[in-house]
Each structure stands twice: as C-alpha cells, then as structure tokens.
Amino acid sequence: MKDLIEAIKEIAKKNPEGFTISIKDLSHVKRGWVVAMKETQNNFGDKGLIEVLEIAQKTSHIMGGWKEGKLFYYDAVWVIEEKEEAIQIGMENEQIAIYNIETATLIYL
C-alpha cells in the first residue's frame, strides 16, 4: 500500500487542478461523469488518502483528487456514463456537483 500511496501523491503533485484514476493500474479515467462518494467527503492529506484508498478498494476502484488552498482533497468516486444517473447518484450522496471528464463540465446539484 505504501508504494501505491506514494504513486498517487506523485500524480496529485503533477495534477493539482484535479485528477481521476483507477487504483488498479493508476491510469487516468478519460470519460464519464465523476460522482464522489458521501463517505469520503472532506478527506485530505495522507490520512485522508489512506481512508479514500481503503473505500475505493472495496467499491469502485476509482478515486480522484484536487488541491484547494493549501490542502489536497481526495474522494473515492464512481464514474457514470449517463448524465441523469450521475445526477441522481450525486444527489443521493449529498454532493454539491458532478463533473464530466470529457467536456470539463461541472453541474451543480
């Protein structure tokens, strides 16, 4: 797990504006609507990254992150193809917004 954490921290360092990756092979997700899981909200720093990884390993195997101010936030996420389904899942998970990777579109819920 230590090597995985270090690899993700390096990805985060290179992508402070945000990223979405598969934790299976660290490949960047290139399409779909990103919806964060409620249980991983407000996770930041090394402790947050570990918690997010543990949840992602049990669920979607996908996570993302972005830098806001001095903190780097991490979430376990789902990537949903259909916009309406993503909106519904986002609302169920009390999210502020969902994000489309291909179009860089943010939809506030």
Write out pLDDT tens, residues 85-97. Answer: 999 999 999 999 9
- The pLDDT of residue 1 is above 90: no
In angstroms and rounded to an integer, the radius of gyration of the C-alpha atoms of the chain is 13
What confidence score (pLDDT) does residue 26 get? 97
Q: Which two tokens stand for residue 23?
A: 């934790």
Separation between Cα atoms, residue 100 and residue 58, nearest integer Å: 23
Looking at the chain, the whole-number percentage of residues with pLDDT higher than 70 is 100
Where helices occur in the chain by DSSP H, the ranges are 2-14, 45-58, 83-92
Q: What is the pLDDT of residues 5-41, one digit of tens each?
A: 999 999 999 999 999 999 999 999 999 999 999 999 9
Separation between Cα atoms, residue 64 and residue 31, nearest integer Å: 13
